[in-house]
Structure 1
Amino acid sequence: MKQVLRAVAACALALASTAAHATPSTTFWTPATTYVQPYLVPHVTYDTYVSERSAFQNDYGLTVGFLPFEKLQGEVGIDSFMPGLAQTNLYLNAKLGVPEGALGDWAPGLSAGILGVGFKSDVSDFDILHLEIGKTFPIVGNLVVGGYYGLNDKLLVSSTGDKQRAGLLAAWTSPDLVLNLTGLNKITFMADVQTGKNAFGAVGGGIGLYFTPSIDLLTGPVFFFDSNATTQLAGPGIAPGANRPDFLWTVQLDVDFDLRPAKVASR
């Protein structure tokens, strides 16, 4: 499975004509979204997670859609946490999704994928399967629920060593507050949660500022359910001992650019 994922990721990144590292589509902290990156539309990201005394390594990335279908979409990517380009800093991900409304006017969106596919089985190979269902409602916004299951029981553990391989995913994204101002297209609000006392268990939320429809900045806090377990993700960037964070503040810069051939208008 991982060998196939690595091959697919390599092919899709080659189609994107660039060499970079990437995160899967997320709401804020979690993969609790049925959104899938469109075909040949790479998504570049730069994420930071910091507090006064500690921080994660910076996350650099690119996610790219690889399926040219309307009702079945797919994306692949590879995370890189820097400083450092060692194998323990790299994570692959892949996802398939059915867009909301594709199976009928009131049909929800569906998605399933894998993330945290690392290159060191005892250090970074989390292999987390996830599944989501989501629906957009007037006034309320988009709601998503799902779950995850980790294939590596040696890494998905609490700071005390208890196995924490499965949990709930949930997310909310507000309706767009469209402004159409010069330099600020719209504003959104969002929140999500991934349960479990492991390196990924946290609740986060914040505001999204869309400078254009394809360039945005997300910012807000992420609170961890087991702050000591986060050291599995943080590498040397996290402070030791009592300075391990109960929360970090994140700033996420995202940019989409379209590599699809321009359509020629018919006469």
Structure 2
Amino acid sequence: MKKAMKILSLATALFTMTTGVALATPSTQIWIPSTDIQPYKQFHLNIDNYFRASGVPKATTATRDANVMDIGPTVGILPFEKVQMEVGFDYLVAANDPNDNHPFSGNFKIGTPEDSLFKYSPALAVGMYNVGPTQSAANAPLVTSGQNIAYVLAARTLPEFGTVPSLGRISAGYYRGSKRALVSESPTSKPQNEGVLLSWDRTMSEISDKLWVAVDYMGGHNVDSATNIGFSWAFAKNVSVIFAYDIYKEKSLAGNNTFTTQLDINFP
């Protein structure tokens, strides 16, 4: 018990450090968090790039929407099989964007894997991301740090039926974030700071165990609301890349749709 309390104290300390410094990405599907958690002592590095699919600018600007790069580490910190936790932070860069003034965000997640509570129990996770100081009202709809999104998720891999393989994993959850940062488009700019989280993903073993496909959705009517479709390929045991297309619901806030590449590297 004392050992567990020391580990939880360490987790709290690490989370406090990440929130003190300032889009942070916990282990995700494509866009939304997943119930996956980095194992104990595993260091994960993500390098995500978002390239605008169209040169047509937003109606409120005279220039092309900025491309975005996000880089950050995540590490697993609990040595337990049934209760796991990860913490991390991200550095986000977008040209001519207020994020350049507030580039750091923190994240943490704690949860339990499938079948750990009882037979057929779903994986469960709770956490926060894009954690940072709340921004000014003038910049809030455009920045990432300060969104302070809290979420809860459940996921279950669908069972096999005889010779019919599993059809994949279904995830569902809910999020709530900052009323100041997650708002509707102008001129009303009313709080739109909550919504559903949904996803489906599957390893396409019929083709290759290295191929994974996913679709995810973040509800609401704010800068983060989106539908994302993509796949990943594992180039090595510890290296994979996601290739996806991101469809934003509120383009006046988020800009035009993007193509994303997400490089994921695990150490060791």
C-alpha separation in 2, matches of 1:257 and 1:162:
43
* 2:193 equivalent to 1:191: no
Structure 1 residues 153, 5: closer, same or farther in 2, change over 3 A? Answer: farther
Give the drift of 1:128: 0.8
- Using the TM superposition, give the Cα deviation of residue 56 of structure 1 relative to its aligned residue in structure 2, in angstroms: 3.2
3-state SS, counterpart of residue 14 of structure 2 = helix
User: What is the percent sequence identity of the aligned residues?
Assistant: 30
Q: Map 1:10-29 to 2 at 5 A.
A: 23-29=25-31
Q: Do the aligned partners of residues 55 and 249 (structure 1) sit closer, same or farther apart at CA in structure 2, a change above 3 Å counting?
A: farther
Once the two structures are superposed, the pairs formed by residues 48-67 of structure 1 within 5 Å of their partners are: 48-51=49-52, 52-53=54-55, 54-67=65-78
SS at match of 2:258: strand
Residue in 2 that maps onto 1:174: 202
Tell me the amino acid that sits aligned with residue 116 of structure 1: N
SS at match of 2:152: strand
1:113 counterpart SS class: strand
Q: Is there any run of 5+ residues in structure 1 with no aligned partner, and where?
A: 13-20, 231-243, 259-267
Query: Counterpart of 2:169 in structure 1: which amino acid?
Result: N
Give the partner amino acid of 2:267: F
Cα deviation, residue 22, structure 1: 5.9
Aligned match of 2:246 in 201, 204, 222?
A: 222
Match of 1:156 among 171, 174, 182: 182
Q: Deviations over 1:121-176 (max 9, x none)?
A: 334311111000000013211110000011x2111101120210110001111134
Instruction: Decide whether aligned partners of structure 1 residues 90 and 77 sit closer, same or farther in structure 2, where only a CA change above 3 A counts.
Output: same
SS of the residue corresponding to residue 96 of structure 1 reads strand
| Residues 74/178 of structure 1: CA separation in 2 closer, same or farther (3 Å cut) | farther
Q: Give the alignment's Cα RMSD to 1 decimal.
A: 2.4
**1:90–1:119: 8 Å Cα contact kept in structure 2?**
no
2:264 to 233, 254, 257: 254
Q: How many angstroms apart in 1 are the aligned matches of 2:221 and 2:93?
A: 25
Q: Is the 8 A contact 2:231 2:244 kept in 1?
A: yes
Cα distance in 1 for residues equivalent to 2:35 and 2:182: 24
2:38, 2:76 within 8 Å by CA — same for their partners in 1?
yes
Structure 1: which 4+ aligned runs deviate by more than 6 Å? none
2:150 pairs, out of 129, 152, 156, with: 129
Query: Could you tell me the TM-score, scaled by structure 2's length?
Result: 0.78
Give aligned pairs, total: 227
Selected match of 1:211 from 232, 235, 239:
235
- The answer to whether the Cα contact below 8 Å between 1:175 and 1:188 also exists between their aligned partners in 2 is yes
Residues 60-79 of structure 1, C-alpha deviations (whole Å, 9 max, x = no match): 11111111111100011111
TM-score, length-scaled by structure 1: 0.78
Question: What runs of 5+ residues in structure 2 fail to find an aligned partner?
Answer: 1-9, 56-64, 161-165
SS in 1 for 2:265: strand
Counterpart of 1:144 in structure 2 is: 171
Letter in 1 for 2:13: A
